Amino acid sequence: MEKLFKVYIYKEGDIPLFHNGPCRSIYSTEGRFVHQMEKGNFYRTNDPDEAHVYFLPFSVVMMVQYLYVPHSHEMHAIGRTVADYIDLVSKRHSFWNRSLGADHVMLSCHDWGPHATSYVPNLFNKSIRVLCNANTSEGFNPSKDVPLPEINLMTGEVTGLVGGPSPSCRSILAFFAGRLHGHIRYLLLNYWKNKDEDIQVYDSLPTGTSYNTMLRKSRFCLCPSGYEVASPRVVEAIYAECIPVLISDGYIPPLSDVLNWKAFSVVVAVEDIPNIKKILMGISQSQYLRMHRRLKKVQRHFVVNGPPKRFDFFHMMAHSIWLRRLNVRVRD
């Protein structure tokens, strides 16, 4: 794949809405992938005839910033911009019409990414959509779409975020801290907040308490969905070497096609929130240690490097796109 895979990036579109993306925010994976691909050091080709996939370089995050009217709950301007862009490249080039978009790729870490693609039916139904909001109940199709990890890089770097103490130094059974976003978090906080010292759940951490320190003191880190299924807490847990506990409906975790998430994480159904302690206490010490060792092995696949390194976030996302492209037959 590293030697063969070729990506052509459409040159149409201007910054800030196109060829752009945030690198220092909760949406950082969108910007980091786009900027690394644009640099052209990996996979990119300037010859569209030798490309395996065609990258649509629009940024839903930047469209929200520049086109969305706050509190209007009106997303038509964003959807129309996406539709207009597809119309433009389909008229200037033959590649979209040849495959009806099946060998085309878009990427978005914004919650509205999936909805933005719905303005072009073939983009929604046929194209490879790389999305943080990988929710099967909202049309995410794991056979053609790629789950994108949500990583909150406030400084743009992973320095100080990756690594944690040994299992013997982790005194807290399970930890979560986050705002009351969505019904799953409401259930979690309602049942566990201030109820049990082993299950430390907060909507706001006490003054002087470090979030990252709590991650590193915990054996398991609870990762409930918010308003949408994706949460940066999954990768935060992986970075801190705290076993992630996924609590969601319809979420497809990143790299599920190559990683066995059951080997290094715990999945808890929403209806089992009251049983979290029982479930986690039922994991033996030897099983926990195996999960911890496996977590450390897969950690590198979620690390954002600059420049990219083999098997890191950037290359694993490229590999996930490559795997979906193998399922597409394009007629000349």
Looking up tokens 């964003």 gives 78
pLDDT in tens, 159-188: 889 999 999 999 999 999 999 999 999 999
* The dihedral sign for the CA sequence 132, 113, 134, 217: positive
Instruction: Kindly report, residue by residue over 221-237, the tens digit of the pLDDT.
Output: 999 999 999 999 999 99
Cα(328)–Cα(332) distance, rounded to whole angstroms?
13
Residues contacting residue 12 through CB under 8 Å, at least 6 positions apart: 18, 85, 88, 89, 92
Cα–Cα distance, 272 to 265 (Å, whole number): 16
- Region 24-37: mean pLDDT is 96
Instruction: State residue 84's pLDDT score.
Output: 98
Query: What does the pLDDT read at residue 73?
Result: 84
Distance CA(15)–CA(63), nearest Å, equals 11
Spatial separation of the C-alpha atoms in residues 114 and 133, rounded to whole Å: 7
Confidence of residue 25 (pLDDT cuts 50, 70, 90): very high
What does pTM read for this prediction?
0.97
Owner of token pair 């909760």: 26
Task: Estimate to the nearest angstrom the gap between the alpha carbon of 81 and the chain centroid.
Answer: 23
> Would you put residue 245 in left (φ > 0), alpha (ψ -120 to 50) or beta?
beta
Q: Token pair of 91, please?
A: 């008229």
Please count the CA atoms within 13 angstroms of the CA of 285 that sit on its side-chain side.
Answer: 3
- Starting at the earlier edge strand, list the strands of the sheet with 7-9: 7-9, 53-55, 104-108, 128-131, 146-147
pLDDT of residue 240: 98
